[in-house]
Every structure is written in C-alpha cells, then in structure tokens.
Amino acid sequence: MFIEPSLSGERRGWIEVICGSMFSGKTEELIRRLKRVKIANLKVEIFKPAIDVRYDENNVVSHDANAIQSTPIDNSQTILLLAQDVDVVGIDEAQFFDDQIMNVCQTLALRGIRVIVAGLDMDYKGQPFGQMPNLLSIADYITKLHAICVRCGHIANVSYRKTAEGGQVLLGEKDTYEPRCWKCFAEGADAKQII
C-alpha cells in the first residue's frame, strides 16, 4: 500500500487493523509492515500501552522475539501529541487503550497518516475486547489472523486462559494462555460456565 495523493494534492490517510487471538502473529505482522515502511524511508512512530511490559518496557516485541522500537504511553491522546510530521503510526495491543483510541486513529487518518493497529479482537471469554470492535468498525482494511488450536490442530479463534486468576486484563504468555478453536474452547471448564 502507498499513500495516494488526492486530487487537491493532499495525502490521504487510512486505518488498518490486524486482529486475532493470542499467538496468531498479530504483532509479527505489525512489525513486518512497519519495517517495510522504514525501508521506504517514511517517517514512523510506534506506540504501545505502558502496561505491556511482558518482553520489554519500550519495544514492541512478538512472541517470536522480533522487535521494533516504540514509545510506551498511558493515554491514547498522547499519540496525537507525539505523532507530528509522520507518515505512518503503528499501535500495538490496542485492546488495552482507553475509549479515545478510535477518535485518535480517525484524527490521524484525516491528517493523511497511515495508521496500523494490532490487537486482540476477543478476550479470554470469547467476548469483544476493549475498543477493538470500534476500531474494526472504522477500519479501511482488516486482517484477521488465526493461530492453531493446541488441542486439535484446527484454526484457533480464542485465547483460552489456563488459570482462574485475574480479571479481563491479565498479561501473560504461553504459561497463562493457549490458542483454541471454538469447539475446544467450549470444552474447557471455564468456558462451560461462560457459554
């Protein structure tokens, strides 16, 4: 994709959303797109929620240990302040941001910026997660990725939580979550109470 000038000569921005379950490659795809943008010598700013310190306090890091430099922030409005004179903005773990993230992404796109957002579309209960439904509704492009179910090998849609602790937000990795298809998710003890 490229930033296409309008008839008036102004750049046009858009919003891309990469979504799916844990271990589906969302962050990997975000990093891949952002590295290609950097190769094209476009100005890029990358953001992640400050609460996500699983692999690194500052960098966006995939489960496969690929990384790209980012700025951790507590509030989505900060993106508007820090994303000055850029061509592309990358945002990881969008489900953890506040209810202004949709407006922030729309404002950036209206400024002519390509916005690439990655996040979980569903929580561990298989329910829409945070602001992701709103971001999906305004996205110009959507990429839904799937993991592989660790129980049966089919396409996995849900991040099954292996522990009963915590609320909706519980940062974790393979020790806490595993990707499951809907059938294997429903067979889990916790899921039977949910469905």
Helix (H, G, I), strand (E, B) or coil at 128: strand
CA distance to 19, 20, 119, 170, per residue, from 123 (Å) = 12, 10, 10, 10
Two tokens at 106? Answer: 């729309």
Total number of residues shown for the chain: 195
- Count of CB atoms situated within 10 Å of the CB of 6: 9
Instruction: For residue 4, indicate whether it is catalytic.
Output: no
d(CA 138, CA 150): 32
Beta bridge partners of 115: 15, 89
Query: Which residue is catalytic, options 93, 165, 173, 187?
Result: 93
Among all residues, which ones are annotated catalytic? 93
